[in-house]
Structure 1
């Protein structure tokens, strides 16, 4: 029986069984003719660069698989939400920095404008 790795999900520890190594098992999908796309649990070290792994294997039932998929989707949504909030915070910080820089430039332009006016007045006085 050939089983190949198709997908790993980020799972809630309360839903996924422990393998014989006492690690949270990994949900994968069979890629065999006999059990196409059938979900199963196995040792997370299975098929990973020669690491030793236990022989844990258990077919996942439909309800359990759906719960795990929903939990994985929820985890992904929460991760993306945190990422969006972080980006929003960075944008707000950049906006504040840009406003500070714009105020500094405006202040320098006003000072320069005042100096230019004073210079022109002196030039006019000297020309008379």
Structure 2
């Protein structure tokens, strides 16, 4: 699926609209606003073609999220499983201390390996 074709899944609320773009050979999905159950349900039709596609690296950038709950965790775990099942890599960019705490408390930090910048997420993809 082409990145331009994914625009049809954009959210009506401008503060919730994800941004999807290519960067140094990876697909970057920038999430904005609150990542809760409603956002999860809206994100699956966007994320599944990306994580099931041909990209060898997908980066989920959480730096612009304001709220992140267990639905957000489910979204990341689903994306991670889909990527690793086909030998690809998912990276997570996150600096929000409460989101990092949720990842740590749930034991997902070693699996998702969040990093503070997009550049760090793309290291090793040369």
Q: TM class by shorter-chain length? A: under 0.3
Which protein is richer in strand relative to its size?
A: 2
More RCO (CA 8 Å, sep 6+): 2
Question: Which is greater in Rg?
Answer: 1
**TM-score normalised by length of structure 2:** 0.24
**TM-score normalised by length of structure 1:** 0.24
